[in-house]
Amino acid sequence: MSRQFLWIFIFLFGFMSGEDVKKAVGDVVTFGPDSIPSITNSILWKHRDTTGTVVKAIEWDRDDGFDVPNLKFKDITRLNESTGAITINNLRLDHTGLYTIEINSKEQEKKIQLTVMERVPKPKINKEQSGNPNVMYLTCKGSATVIWRNSTGELPLVSESLTVRKTGIGDNYYTCTFQNAVSRETSDPVYERDLFPESSNAVVLGIVIFIIIIIIILIVLPCLYLFLDCFHDPVQNCGKDVKCFGGVLTFLDRHRKTNGSSSCDQHPNAEGQTMVSTSNKPKSDDTEN
């Protein structure tokens, strides 16, 4: 137990006294000593992880050359023997820790605390209705710092949720940004016109009217044309010579049953017989002398 406590103390002491460097997973990092002796025979970089385990990251000896003994640094670590700088490519989370350097077998005061962090994901804004039709709740959940913005700029709010009130300006928009020490990502904008769509009554009414018009054009008017002479004859006279419309009338005439059509001025009497005007009756024989 005391050994673990010692390593934690050493790690925290090194963290507090060393240079702090933060990088994202996959990044490249380079750091080195403040100075290097004019005559350098050996350079050794060591890595102490968060559990206190110390390994050699890379070393160089004038006689033996370069060596990367630990697999964690294999093929991704380089050392500049002239400056003493170490470069690590394709960083992983397990590269986090304290880095120290020995030059000519003497540990230098310079220490580097490297923190490797995951990049933040692109946030997605979730919408939640409230009891008020003019108020909407927006949420943007994540493990990073959350920053809200609207059309006019950054909002004085750092929170996972945002209350939006209707302004009547459909082009107003809101975005959510995730941010940590190494990365920053912003969501797609959410527009007010999508949060507070106009009443659908007008749209429904328009659709109903459109359907009624279509029914009138496709069903009612053709039926009137087919079965009523008083409708058929004027339409025929006016539209037969009109391009396209005349063709439609011709098509309807082919299906028209003339014997079933009726005149608009004919009315059935009480016995179901058609009344005939008396002006058309022949004179009675009583007029003869």
Helical (H) or strand (E) element with 101: strand 97-103
Domain count for the chain: 3
Q: Are 27 and 102 within one domain? A: yes
Of residues 58 and 11, more confidently modeled? 58
Q: Is the pLDDT of residue 193 over 50?
A: yes
Q: Are 156 and 100 within one domain? A: no
Q: What is the CATH number of the domain that holds 51?
A: 2.60.40.10
Q: Are 14 and 110 within one domain? A: yes
Specify the pLDDT at position 246. Answer: 62
Specify the pLDDT at position 109. Answer: 92
| Residue 153 pLDDT class (50, 70, 90 cuts) | confident
Q: Are 109 and 32 within one domain? A: yes
Q: Are 26 and 113 within one domain? A: yes
Specify the pLDDT at position 184. Answer: 95
Specify the pLDDT at position 155. Answer: 84
| Highest-scoring range by mean pLDDT, 23-27, 164-168, 265-269 | 23-27
Rounded-to-integer distance, Cα 156 and Cα 284, Å:
105
Please say which residue of 91, 117, 143 terminates a domain.
117
Q: Is the pLDDT of residue 9 over 50?
A: no
243 contacts: CB under 8 Å, gap ≥ 6: none
Q: Are 169 and 66 within one domain? A: no
- Kindly state whether residue 278 falls inside one of the protein's structural domains: no
Q: Is the pLDDT of residue 278 over 50?
A: no
Rounded-to-integer distance, Cα 263 and Cα 260, Å:
10
Please say which residue of 156, 175, 195 terminates a domain.
195
Specify the pLDDT at position 276. Answer: 43
- Kindly state whether residue 276 falls inside one of the protein's structural domains: no
- Kindly state whether residue 279 falls inside one of the protein's structural domains: no
Q: Are 160 and 106 within one domain? A: no
The per-residue pLDDT of the chain, averaged, comes to: 80
Of residues 240 and 151, more confidently modeled? 151
| Residue 178 pLDDT class (50, 70, 90 cuts) | very high
| Least confident segment among 114-128, 186-200, 250-264 | 250-264
Q: Are 190 and 227 within one domain? A: no
Rounded-to-integer distance, Cα 69 and Cα 84, Å:
18
Of residues 252 and 245, more confidently modeled? 252
- Kindly state whether residue 274 falls inside one of the protein's structural domains: no
283 contacts: CB under 8 Å, gap ≥ 6: none
Q: Are 187 and 209 within one domain? A: no
CB atoms within 10 A of CB 196: 18
Q: Are 134 and 27 within one domain? A: no
- Kindly state whether residue 289 falls inside one of the protein's structural domains: no
| pTM (two decimals) | 0.60
Q: Is the pLDDT of residue 270 over 60?
A: no
Q: Is the pLDDT of residue 175 over 90?
A: yes
What average pLDDT does range 180-200 have in this prediction? 88
- Kindly state whether residue 30 falls inside one of the protein's structural domains: yes
| Residue 156 pLDDT class (50, 70, 90 cuts) | confident
Query: Position 132: which residue type?
Result: N
Q: Are 189 and 206 within one domain? A: no
Q: Is 76 exposed, middle or buried (0-12, 13-18, 19+ CB in 10 A)?
A: middle
- Angle between helical axes of 229-239 and 245-254 (0-180°, round to 10): 140
Rounded-to-integer distance, Cα 262 and Cα 256, Å:
12
| Residue carrying structure tokens 């098509």 | 251
Q: Are 205 and 185 within one domain? A: no
Q: Is the pLDDT of residue 41 over 50?
A: yes
| Residue 214 pLDDT class (50, 70, 90 cuts) | confident
CB 32 within 8 A of CB 83: yes
Q: Is the pLDDT of residue 244 over 90?
A: no
Please say which residue of 117, 150, 165 terminates a domain.
117
Kind of pairing, strands 173-179 and 190-191?
antiparallel
Residues spanned by the domain of 20: 2-117
- Kindly state whether residue 177 falls inside one of the protein's structural domains: yes
- Kindly state whether residue 269 falls inside one of the protein's structural domains: no
Q: What is the CATH number of the domain that holds 173?
A: 2.60.40
> Within the chain, what is the greatest distance between any pair of CA atoms?
160
Region for 86 from its dihedrals, namely left if φ exceeds 0, alpha if ψ lies in -120 to 50, beta otherwise = beta
